[in-house]
């Protein structure tokens, strides 16, 4: 098992997700990940993170070029950007979805996610290997608020 990084969670110069400036006013980010390296079924793709003190209010996922591969999407254990092989990912956002058409998390699932004073990684686990290709992409739109 390996933890693969997106531009939001790995390396220097990674883009930051902005934190809402006013309580209750949502912020939104659209994350695009191009599969420049393969992600095996045993790997975790650390896609992005939820800023401190924020609660997700909407999560949508769409893939291009992944065929019938299903994905689990949730909050990861450990520190954002850590390479610790013991890190895990939950299914708080999505469990076994095939997002070749837009998949959206139910509001009832998001309501149970607690606020944290630390940033939390959002990870994705595929059911089969996603091959590296410039045309294989994943898009996630996340809305969150304090």
Q: Is the dihedral of CA 89, 91, 92, 95 positive or negative?
A: positive
User: What is the pLDDT confidence band of residue 137, given thresholds at 50, 70 and 90?
Assistant: very high
Query: What single-letter DSSP state applies at residue 46?
Result: E
- Which pTM does this prediction carry? 0.92
Summarised one tens digit per residue, pLDDT across range 72-96 is: 999 999 999 899 989 999 999 999 9
Quick one: pLDDT at residue 22? 82
Give the span between the Cα atoms of 2 and 39, in whole angstroms: 9
Closest CA to 38 of 130, 123, 124: 130
Q: Say which residue, 84 or 15, is predicted with more confidence.
A: 84
Summarised one tens digit per residue, pLDDT across range 19-77 is: 777 888 899 999 999 999 999 999 999 999 999 999 999 999 999 999 999 999 999 99
Quick one: pLDDT at residue 16? 73
Quick one: pLDDT at residue 131? 96
């Amino acid at each position: 098992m390996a933890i693969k990084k997106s531009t939001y969670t790995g390396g220097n110069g990674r883009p930051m997700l902005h934190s809402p400036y006013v309580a209750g006013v949502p912020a939104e980010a659209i994350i695009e990940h191009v599969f420049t390296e393969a992600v095996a079924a045993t790997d975790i793709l650390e896609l992005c993170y939820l800023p401190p003190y924020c609660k997700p209010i909407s999560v949508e996922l769409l893939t291009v070029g992944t065929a019938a591969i299903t994905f689990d999407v949730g909050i990861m254990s450990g520190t954002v950007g850590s390479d610790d092989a013991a890190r895990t990912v939950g299914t708080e956002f999505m469990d076994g979805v095939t997002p070749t058409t837009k998949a959206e998390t139910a509001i009832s699932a998001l309501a149970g996610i607690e606020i944290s004073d630390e940033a939390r990684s959002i990870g994705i686990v595929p059911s089969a290997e996603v091959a590296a290709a410039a045309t294989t992409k994943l898009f996630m739109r996340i809305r969150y608020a304090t």
